[in-house]
Structure 1
Amino acid sequence: MQRPWILKMEWRDLLFVHWPLPPPVLAAALPAGVTLDLWEGQAWLALVAFNVTNFRVRGVPFGMSFPQVNLRTYVRLGETRGIWTFSLDAAPLLAVLGSRLGYALPYVQARAALQVQGDWLEFRSVRRHQPDLDCHVGYRPTGPVFRAPAGSTEHWLTERRSLFTVGWDRRLWRADVQHEAWPLQAAEIRHFHSRLPAQVGAPSLGPPLAHFSRVVHVRGWPPAHHQDL
């Protein structure tokens, strides 16, 4: 990465929730030119809930912290594997507007909180102008911390450093991030409710594959046309 980074933050107390789906379900929700990335013939839908802490723009002396939940899948453009995000729900209006304007990402303002309750973490979000689109999940880490080995399902699902979106010029944009390898743990879920997957027409979803990560330290680069990178 030759260009300077412009964003710096941590992602904390993060929950990955994954479901395998038939590829046509998610392919219908993608724009032309974006190809699903498959694992063992299946597409994967992911819901990711976490706290963003110490979020700041390079050169700005202050930052912010806020909970966020993303709905995403995995795609590839040429040889680059990355993330396609269907929605990102967060509370601060500045973060929502800045990400929509600067990155053309589908951020939506929501009332959101991530709280510690004993051994458990409780994440809640409700969209301010679409209260039927919500998320409520209670989770905790279980088992030892591990780094997913290359070639494993966990590595394929989590080790992504690029995200794609359709920019304001109607071309495909790519933005890259850099952070250490995920310190993963298995996650236990005591309750889960979310209508966010309905945005992509997902059918009734079964028990998910769930993982937890305590923290990674992230730097982000500005978006650019995918063909220019």
Structure 2
Amino acid sequence: MCAGIADIDLLSMTWEDLLFAHWRVDPAVVEEHLPGGLTVATYEGDAYLGVVPFVMSSIGPRLAPLDISFGELNLRTYVRETADGSGAGPRGVYFFNLDADDRLGVAVARSVFQLPYYRAAMTVDAAGERVAFRSQRPDGSASFAAAYGPEGDAFVPEAGSLEAFLVENYRFYTADDRGGIWYGDIDHEPWELAPATADFVTNELFAANGFDHPAGEPLLHYSPRIAVTAGAPRRV
């Protein structure tokens, strides 16, 4: 974990019913979509684009979380800072978009946290361990619909594994409208994942962010929930 808990206690939240769907892609495809100051992080030479739908709940000040919940959906990749010119700086998640079914939260996240949030109408229906997730922005773009759930025993990713590369990230990056790079640190217990199955009805997130849909089948994992604390973003 990249920061002490005292540095990242601004907000607390719980993430629930998460699907991690990761497609392997050519690093050059991702690199051309990144702002200056960041470079794509790879695992055994491959870059990854991840689609992650989930439910955000109990978000608020760390000692007084609010009893609210809403759907959230993001397209992400993995990057390193290049401020020192080596490309070996701190590693984290880079968000191309974060869609959420919470009007106030989207406005706050955009203005205060410099995050690329978009308002979207979402429905999340859970029946047992199966989740049906739908999302669409008011202009009809970035439509997403999938049904997913676990299929197999839960495990904690081993250090150095592909699964750890994809999920054990404790820093996020984003770019503001002027090209400035911001980062924020988060903290949580290690992920518990299970292999997953998913049926994608529609997935326009790649097109909405200027990507062709990657070839091949995604690597799928499910996690039921995790408690998270987060600090305020800072300028790189």
Q: Compare 71-80 and 145-154 and name the one that shifted more.
A: 71-80
Report the aligned-residue RMSD: 1.7
- Are 2:49 and 1:45 aligned? yes
C-alpha separation in 2, matches of 1:177 and 1:221 = 6
Question: Comparing both structures, which one devotes a greater share of its residues to strand?
Answer: 1
Aligned residue in 1 for 2:148 = 139
Pick closer, same or farther for the CA change 1:163–1:142 going to 2, 3 Å: same
Residue 59 of structure 1 and its aligned partner are, at CA, apart by 6.1
Unaligned runs of 5+ in 1: none
Equivalent pairs, count: 225
C-alpha separation in 2, matches of 1:4 and 1:157 = 21
- Are 2:109 and 1:105 aligned? no
Aligned residue in 1 for 2:169 = 160
Aligned residue in 2 for 1:195 = 204
- Are 2:14 and 1:35 aligned? no
C-alpha separation in 1, matches of 2:15 and 2:129 = 19
Q: Compare 76-85 and 54-63 and name the one that shifted more.
A: 54-63
C-alpha separation in 2, matches of 1:74 and 1:180 = 20
Residue 40 of structure 1 and its aligned partner are, at CA, apart by 1.2
Secondary structure at the counterpart of residue 145 of structure 1: coil
Pick closer, same or farther for the CA change 1:179–1:98 going to 2, 3 Å: same
Aligned residue in 2 for 1:79 = 89
Aligned residue in 2 for 1:17 = 21
Unaligned runs of 5+ in 2: 82-87
Which of 159, 167, 185 is the matching residue for 1:176? 185
Aligned residue in 1 for 2:61 = 57
Cα contact 1:178–1:218 (8 A) shared by 2: yes
Cα contact 1:162–1:174 (8 A) shared by 2: yes
Residue 200 of structure 1 and its aligned partner are, at CA, apart by 3.0
> What TM-score, normalized to structure 2?
0.90
Cα contact 1:25–1:202 (8 A) shared by 2: no
C-alpha separation in 2, matches of 1:154 and 1:83 = 14
C-alpha separation in 2, matches of 1:59 and 1:146 = 30
Deviation sequence 1:33-86 (CA, Å, 0-9, x none) = 110001111110000000001111346563421110000000011431101100
Cα contact 1:103–1:167 (8 A) shared by 2: no
Percent identity of equivalent pairs: 34
Cα contact 1:26–1:200 (8 A) shared by 2: no
Cα contact 1:57–1:63 (8 A) shared by 2: no
